[in-house]
């Protein structure tokens, strides 16, 4: 799961234009707003090597938001989009 989150973070950082501005604020306000307006809730989270916490919120309808929360408590939206799908974890068996 950590590899998936890291890949998402790298992909979104490459996809954002250099001039993109993040929207930042209190984490609880983001969760409340995204939950009520878009029906998004947390589906994944992980600790980034710099001490930040990355969270992916998604809805059953496919909308998603990635927020990063710094150690000082400030949260920022990193990316948003549509078409979120949960990918089942496949456990590899013995190689043939």
Task: Report the pLDDT value the prediction gives residue 12, as an integer from 0 to 100.
Answer: 47
Q: How far apart are alpha carbons 85 and 56 in whole angstroms? A: 12
Residue 47 inside a domain? The answer is: yes
Q: Give the tens place of pLDDT for each residue, 7-66.
A: 444 444 444 444 445 799 999 999 999 999 999 999 999 999 999 999 999 999 999 999
Q: Give the tens place of pLDDT for each residue, 57-95.
A: 999 999 999 999 999 999 999 999 999 998 887 777 666
Residue 93 inside a domain? The answer is: no
Task: Report the pLDDT value the prediction gives residue 58, as an integer from 0 to 100.
Answer: 97
Number of domains comprising the chain: 1
Range of the domain at 3: 1-9+42-82
* 19-32 core/surface letters (b: 16 or more CB in 10 A; e: else): eeeeeeeebeebbe
Residue 73 inside a domain? The answer is: yes
Q: How far apart are alpha carbons 6 and 44 in whole angstroms? A: 11
């Amino acid at each position: 799961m950590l590899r998936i989150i890291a890949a998402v973070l790298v992909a979104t950082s490459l996809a954002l234009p250099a001039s993109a501005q993040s929207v930042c604020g209190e984490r609880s306000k983001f969760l409340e707003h995204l939950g009520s307006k878009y029906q998004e809730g947390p589906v994944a989270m992980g600790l980034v090597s710099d001490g930040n916490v990355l969270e992916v919120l998604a809805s059953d309808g496919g909308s998603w938001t990635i927020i990063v929360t710094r150690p000082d408590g400030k949260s920022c939206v990193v990316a948003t989009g549509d078409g979120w799908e949960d990918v089942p974890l496949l456990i590899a068996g013995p190689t043939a």
